[in-house]
Structure 1
Amino acid sequence: MSFSPQSRVWIYQSNRKFTSAEETEILKKLESFTNQWKAHGNELLAKAEIRYGFFIILTVDETQANVTGCSIDSSVRLIKEIEQEYNIDLFNRFNIAYKVNDDVIVNSKEDFETLVNIKQVTPDTIVFNNMVQTLADLNTKWEVPFQNSWHSTVFAHLL
């Protein structure tokens, strides 16, 4: 199944890494949701995935049917259920994810700021831009060097 580069994406970042058992269970829930996800009765061409054990990514190709407020609400309800069931935080935008070698690390804004301050996070550190909204941007602008990200404007005073 191929998705248009303009497909909409939603990224939910966990505050901790899922165990492999949790990841399997969560993927099952997401798959059963995306298989029956509808907007005003129209089947949505949708998929869900988990990347790096931290990121739940929902993708909808709107060339088939447009996402509606109600259909977005239903996806948010599912994410909130997952959050409660697994005792994780998927909505805290102040948690910042970045890479050290190939490992993903999630820290609070304050801890991240400290790491920037002591040069543990450098301009070349890869950070995740969870604000991307299309599949094309997910593929090209999601994992970016700190210096090219919105993060660098927030923490510019430290660089």
Structure 2
Amino acid sequence: MSFSPQSRVWVYQSDRKFSSAEETAIIEKLAAFTNQWKAHGNELLARAEIRYGYFIILTVDETQANVTGCSIDSSVRLIKEIEQDYHVDLFNRFNMAYKVDDQVIVNNKEDFETLINIKQITPETIVFNNMVQTLAELENKWEVPLKNSWHSTVFAHLL
């Protein structure tokens, strides 16, 4: 199934890595949801995935049917359910994810700031821009050097 580069995406980042058993169960739950996801009775061309054990990514190709407020609400309900079932935080935008040697690490804003201060995180460190809105952005602007991300404006005084 091929998705348009303009497909809408939502990225939810966990505050901890899912175990492989959790990941399998969550993928099943997401697949069941995306297979029946509708907007005003129209079937949505949608998929869900987990990347790096931390990121739940929902994708909807709107060339078939547009996402509505109600259909977005139903996806948010599902993500909140996953949050409760697995005791994770998927809505905290102050958790920062970055890569060290291809390993994803998630820290709170204060720890992230400290790591910049002590030069453990540099302008070249790859960070995750979970604000991406399209599949094209997910592929090209999701994993970017800190200096090219929105993080650099927030932490500019430290860089």
> Would you say same fold, with TM above 0.5?
yes
1:10 aligned partner, one-letter code:
W
Give the Cα–Cα distance (whole angstroms) in 1 for the partners of residues 81 and 92 of structure 2: 15
Give the Cα–Cα distance (whole angstroms) in 1 for the partners of residues 149 and 121 of structure 2: 13
1:10-46: CA deviations, max 9, x gaps? 0000000000000000000000000000000000000
Give the Cα–Cα distance (whole angstroms) in 2 for the partners of residues 123 and 72 of structure 1: 34
Match of 1:92 in 2: 92
1:53 aligned partner, one-letter code:
G
Asked if 1:21 corresponds to 2:17, the answer is: no
Secondary structure at 2:32 match in 1: helix
Match of 1:157 in 2: 157
1:117-158: CA deviations, max 9, x gaps? 000000100000000000000000000000100001100000
CA RMSD of aligned residues (A): 0.2
Secondary structure at 2:83 match in 1: helix
1:80-124: CA deviations, max 9, x gaps? 000000000000000000000010000000000000000000010
Q: How does 1:62-101 map to 2 (within 5 A)?
A: 62-101=62-101
Normalising by structure 1, we get a TM-score of 1.00
Give the Cα–Cα distance (whole angstroms) in 1 for the partners of residues 156 and 66 of structure 2: 38
1:107 aligned partner, one-letter code:
N
Normalising by structure 2, we get a TM-score of 1.00
Unaligned stretches of 5+ residues in structure 1: none
Q: How does 1:1-150 map to 2 (within 5 A)?
A: 1-150=1-150
Secondary structure at 1:33 match in 2: helix
State the 4+ residue runs in structure 1 displaced beyond 2 angstroms: none
Secondary structure at 1:64 match in 2: coil
